[in-house]
Amino acid sequence: MVKVLFVCLGNICRSPMAEAIFRDLVKKNQLSEKISIDSAGTSGWHIGNPPHKGTLKILKKYKISEQGLKARQFTADDLYTFDYIVVMDDKNLDDVKRIGEGPAKVLRLLDIVEASERKNVPDPYHTGDFEETYELVTKGCDVLLQLIKEEHQL
């Protein structure tokens, strides 16, 4: 099983959106038995909470299931449990590195999208623009699946 963890600050806007979008994509590629997906926040501010209503609204709009999304905090153990830790911005990258290190590959989602000029996924908690975040996360997830397929011969 290839294990993927998406990480942002609060785990209520960007990373649960990425978790749901990537799970949907993996399912459409018939890879649900091979790839498992989770998300976490570097902060503990929203532990146990459902996603932000803006994230739920955008998932509903694009008919993507919100099932199983519940905020939790990132821990140093995650660097041993997961194969890929996919963060949303440079602050998340710094925070994850500060929390620990381990065998997991830590990468920023938009770093793998060569054509993207933006390298940080904007935080809709502050911008209010969940559509922009959805589009960038979707692009990143497409490339991430190709990368995982290649690296694991799936």
Active site annotation includes 72: no
Q: Min. distance of Cβ 16 from ligand 4NP in angstroms?
A: 7
| Residue 9 or 56 with smaller CB distance to ligand 4NP | 9
Q: Which of 14, 89, 95, 108 is catalytic?
A: 14
Q: Min. distance of Cβ 45 from ligand 4NP in angstroms?
A: 5
CB atoms closer than 10 angstroms to residue 75: 12
What is the token pair recorded at 36?
């498992």
Active site annotation includes 8: yes
Active site annotation includes 14: yes
Q: Which of 8, 23, 78, 141 is catalytic?
A: 8
CA 150 to chain centre: 19
Question: Using CB under 6 A as the criterion, which residues of the chain lie in contact with ligand 4NP when the complex forms?
Answer: 8-14, 45, 123, 125
**Alpha-carbon gap, residue 76 to 73, rounded angstroms:** 10
| Residue 10 or 140 with smaller CB distance to ligand 4NP | 10
Beta pairing partners, 85: 5, 106
User: Residue 39: which residues within 8 A CB-CB, separation 6 or more?
Assistant: 5, 6, 7, 8, 11, 15, 16, 18, 19, 69
| Residue 28 or 57 with smaller CB distance to ligand 4NP | 57
Residues involved in catalysis: 8, 14, 123
